[in-house]
Amino acid sequence: MQDLPTKKRIAIFGSTGSIGTQALDVIRANPGLFEVEILTAQTNDELLITQAMEFRPNAVVIGDDSRYQKVKDALSSTDIKVFAGETALEEAADFDTYDMMLAAIVGFAGLKPTLKAVEKGKAIALANKETLVVAGDIVMQKAVEKRVPIIPVDSEHSAIFQCLVGEVRNPIEKVILTASGGPFLGKKPNFLVNVKRDHALQHPNWSMGAKISIDSATLMNKGLEMIEARWLFNLQPNQVEVVIHPQSIIHSMVQFEDGSIKAQMGLPDMKLPIQYALAFPGRVKNDFPRLNFRKNPNLTFEEPDVKTFRNLSLAIEALNTGGNMPCVLNAANEIAVWAFLRNRIGFLDMTAMVEKTMQHVAFIQKPTLQEYFDSDGEARNFAASLINL
């Protein structure tokens, strides 16, 4: 009889990003628990090669196929398989040889490989929230069908997930997502209109990739997380609430039907939810800095200012409307953030772009997967046309 592998074999899709590199830190610290099976990057061939040489996966994928030869040559002394291109990502997600996918690609691009892994029956550690924002109903239905666990990596959802352990029979009254408020908490439109990219990229509590940092500054991130929470925890839109908590110590809360509220807390460090998702259902000892309440005595809470941070109201509108609206919101937002990061539009123009696109694209109540892809394409084209991209 063959020995069963004892280490969990992890496929990291988006290994060169903020989540991907922190996941590799967790894996490096726990060589007895995890091994790396697949690594993928889009353009960062240098880092992908370095990671591959260190972790010796079975396969790597570089999304940008013009970089294939460079990666292939650099790994020629190893038996690591090298693939390139968008379809190779889906093909790798279809491999038998891994146990869990860490979905850490940013944006809509993460949807297809993640869905493929779900169809393949693989456990998912989900960082790529856009997957659920775009097609949450289809992805979750498939996960139930295939009995695939989707363990959230997003810190708020990890908090809620952790609060729900041991509560399977107890309905949720509501979940309360905490938001730091981002770098512009308390600011008004007359300030925001002049905000530039480098300032918006400076998050007070978290160090993250560029796209999510901008989403955090506009509060779109919290809106995307509301939609993510709705699907992950099978909630109605009115069961998802947001509260501003600038210290980011309480990562989120669940209120049960008896009014009792459970919270999960800790210092803001993404390595903890990443490690929790990779190791679930176990907890793994680590040496991350500990929260000391005496040094963090002030935990404060306030209403989000949705009149100033209108991206959050637009996301709530999309959440309530349902259908393809969250997909349209997400697509327009990806174009808007892309354009803002290249100094093509201003901070508040991002909201205008998302709003106009939501008004323009035809509403579909119950889209098929293909209709989600079509809505995404239509929304991107329309958003881009607004600024002659």
Residues that bind ligand NDP (CB under 6 A): 14-20, 41-44, 63, 104-106, 109, 127-130, 154, 206, 208-212, 270
- Separation of alpha carbons 310 and 218, rounded Å: 8
Using the rule CB under 5 A, is 215 a contact of Mg ion? Answer: no
Given Mg ion, ligand NDP, none, residue 337, with its beta carbon under 5 to 8 Å by kind, binds none
Residue positions counted in the chain: 389
Find the part of the chain contacting Mg ion (CB under 5 A) among 19-27, 150-158, 187-195, 286-294: 150-158
Rounded to a whole number of angstroms, the minimum distance from the CB of residue 173 to ligand NDP is 25
Residues binding Mg ion: number (CB under 5 A): 3
272 binds, among Mg ion, ligand NDP, none (CB under 5 to 8 A by kind): none
154 binds Mg ion (CB under 5 A): yes
Closest contact distance (angstroms) between CB of 263 and Mg ion is 15
CB proximity list for 367: less than 8 A, separation 6 or greater: 135, 323, 324, 327, 375
- Peptide bond connecting 281 to the previous residue in cis, omega within 30 degrees of 0: yes
Closest approach, Cβ 316 to Mg ion, in A, equals 16
d(C-alpha 240, C-alpha 230), whole Å: 7
Strand-pair partners of 84: 62
Residue placing its CB nearer to ligand NDP in the complex, 19 or 318: 19
Indicate the DSSP class of residue 158. Answer: H
Rank residues 213 and 375 by Cβ distance to ligand NDP and give the closer one: 213
Write each residue from 306 to 335 as x if it is in contact with Mg ion (CB under 5 A), else as -, in one continuous string: ------------------------------
The residue at minimum Cβ distance from ligand NDP is 17
Helices (H), the chain: 18-29, 45-55, 68-74, 86-93, 111-119, 130-145, 155-164, 189-192, 197-200, 210-218, 220-232, 271-279, 310-321, 325-341, 349-360, 369-386
With binding defined as CB under 5 A, does residue 35 bind Mg ion?
no
Q: Choose among Mg ion, ligand NDP, none what residue 182 binds, the Cβ cut-off being 5 to 8 Å by kind.
A: none
Separation of alpha carbons 117 and 374, rounded Å = 22
- What are the CB-based long-range contacts (under 8 Å, 24+) for 71-76? 71/45, 74/45, 74/49, 75/49
Residues of this chain that interact with Mg ion (CB under 5 A) are 154-156
